[in-house]
Chain A
Amino acid sequence: MPRTLFEKIWDAHVVHRRDDGLCLLYVDRHYFHEGSFHAFNMLRAKGLKVRRPDLSFGFGDHYVPTRGRNTAAIPDPEIRGIVETFEKNAREAGIQAFEIADPRQGIVHVAGPELGLTLPGMTVVCGDSHTSSHGALGALAFGIGASEVAHVLATQTIWQSRPRQIRIAFDGTLPPGSTAKDMALALIAEIGTGGALGGAIEFMGSAVRALSVEARLTLCNMAIEAGARTGMVAPDATTLAWLQGRPFAKPVDIATLRSDDGAAFDAQVTLDASRITPMATWGTSPEEAVPLSGRVPRPEEAPDESRQKAWRGSLDYMGLSGGERLADVRVDRVFLGSCTNARLDDLRAAAAVLQGRRIAVPMLVSPGSTAIKREAEAEGLDRIFREAGASWEESGCSLCVSMNGDSVAEGERCASTSNRNFRGRQGRGARTHLVSPASAAASALAGRLVAAEG
């Protein structure tokens, strides 16, 4: 019987199967960050120990400062306390954690794959919804809550019901200037934030095959914004070449790690990649996205009454009117960072747009990992950013989640390479427009929402 890639990885990890179909899956890799304190507290309250400290890895990312690399120097005592607790929990459990000053520190979904800790065929979990990113390497990866993190720490397993499987194909060739971020936004605009609710997506098609691993990480990262539990791309020669020489990587046989011909999916979506142009969100949900060359939609154009109401609310929050050209929308600041778009290729794309020019509004650049920061500096990208007037800072989640003290002021508008334009995501009353790194750089130059030229 032909099986999908998802089914093959799932089947290989079933420890126990109940009569109702619920499966206890073995977890090959568990990542955690500072938000894990609830889970460690639960474990302590139950008097339990971490069962396999060798299979968990910690990364300081959610609360680490974007400026400075010293835990003791974090000014806010609550934030400092969270970072200290993370470091203490890892040490007490005997788990390797890449703390704030470690050269291997970075955002978990950037630094984990970069270190070779995520490999094809693995099951990967983390108490963070963007864990779907790791599916880019052909792993079965999904985000979990604190109780599940405690369960994984105590048992190295997780209970899962089999999600519906969705095949999403991007056929054709992506035009120059369009990126994986634009593919993700175009997809979510098409199927909605509930379009893949609870499902497992396998991304396929010629345009996906042509993507670098970095770009596949961006695409799988955003699968959760379409409601999916996970997104994945079958590993290929591109994957193996990318993994070569990474410190924790081990040789993997990927020959069978692909969906068999004739394998059944529950749903299928096909998009024509050649028609995807640079995108931006205009509202407060990732599904509220349009081409940057277009206009903000009018509520009366909404497909149904419920969305009409939602669009009115979004426009009101965003301080926009239906029919406005995106190119006329002024931005107050720009953020280049996050687990979605802060890898070396992303920094290069933005730097290429900024080279030799000056930005019109403040721009914060936070590389996806400390290693990426060093590589970018070796290439001289930091100079391009600085000379353009941008702030070149340290690695962490920063303005994507606004937990470390970074925030966008009430009413301010930010063009951001992150993944969520939710109300208040970047700070109370902050207005977020999601874009690609090149579009973020172009918007910083123009002080308006625009795509890069040429």
Chain B
Amino acid sequence: MPEPFTTLTAIAAPLDMSNVDTDQIIPARFMRRPRDERYAQYGFHDLRFTPEGERRPDFVLNQPPFDRAGILVASRNFGVGSSREAAVYALLALGIRSVVASGFGDIFFSNSLKNGLLPVRLPEDVCAALRAHLAAHPGATLSVDLAQNILTDAAGVAHGFSIPPFARDCLLRGLDEIGMTLTLLPEIEAFETARG
């Protein structure tokens, strides 16, 4: 069962890359491992570490205070590619609870909602302005309020976003989707009977 998501105020890190695919969020070779705390190591692994295992100082999540970020502000087409839900597990293990971007891979978007990671879709010019501000003010926070559907930036400007109502309800209350669907079991059975 996912943890409820209501409000979040956290340091936000700018990730100025488009088309961040799920292979980059978690390389395939780690996916044979069961889900545990090691997923924090796997997250963005090849962007964060050199082949020799050294931290790459140029990658934003290796730079304090961004290494404590709870929110990531990305760009176009975040999470495209493979359906691997492990990408969401890795982000959560890294302490990221929300990703802001101007577009999301379809399956990543839905995987996020089912695991308590909030994907916030905002226009690219807004994302670019947020990234520029965060880069210039390391440690600046953003606030997300899911009940109000609002993201508030450091200047106090509120940006509205939308989340599909059912997923939003499940997130706010930490509800289990399977359990809710099973209450519709008679309808599922009726459908099967009608089709013969």
Contacts and interface: CB of A to CB of B under 8 A. Distances in A.
A155 interface: yes
A17 to B, nearest CB: 10
B83 interface: yes
Pick from B76, B88, B110, B187 the residue with the most CB of A within 10 Å: B110
A335 interface: no
A227 B75 contact: no
B28 A402 contact: yes
Contacts of B23: 420, 422-425
A327 B17 CA distance: 29
B84 to A, nearest CB: 7
B85 A422 contact: no
A18 B31 contact: no
Interface string B72-102: 0001110011111110100000000000000
B70 interface: no
A229 to B, nearest CB: 5
Contacts of B184: 15-16, 24
A38 interface: yes
Contacts of A193: 19, 77, 80
B188 interface: yes
Interface residues of B, number: 55
B129 interface: no
A340 interface: no
26 contacts: A15-B184, A15-B191, A18-B166, A24-B184, A26-B195, A37-B34, A46-B179, A79-B32, A129-B82, A129-B83, A143-B107, A145-B107, A145-B114, A146-B85, A147-B111, A148-B110, A151-B181, A155-B181, A159-B166, A161-B164, A197-B103, A227-B105, A285-B21, A310-B17, A422-B81, A423-B46
Interface of B: 16-19, 21, 23-24, 27-29, 31-35, 46, 51, 75-77, 80-86, 88, 103, 105-111, 114-115, 124, 164-166, 176-179, 181-182, 184-185, 187-188, 191-192, 195
Interface of A: 15-16, 18, 20, 22, 24, 26, 35, 37-38, 41, 46, 48, 63, 78-79, 81-82, 127-129, 143-148, 150-151, 154-157, 159, 161, 163, 193-194, 197-198, 224, 227-229, 284-285, 287, 306-307, 309-310, 313, 401-403, 410, 420, 422-425, 428-429
Given A145-B88, A194-B76, 17 more contacts: A15-B184, A24-B184, A26-B191, A46-B178, A144-B83, A145-B107, A146-B85, A147-B85, A154-B178, A154-B181, A155-B185, A197-B105, A284-B19, A306-B75, A306-B124, A403-B31, A403-B32
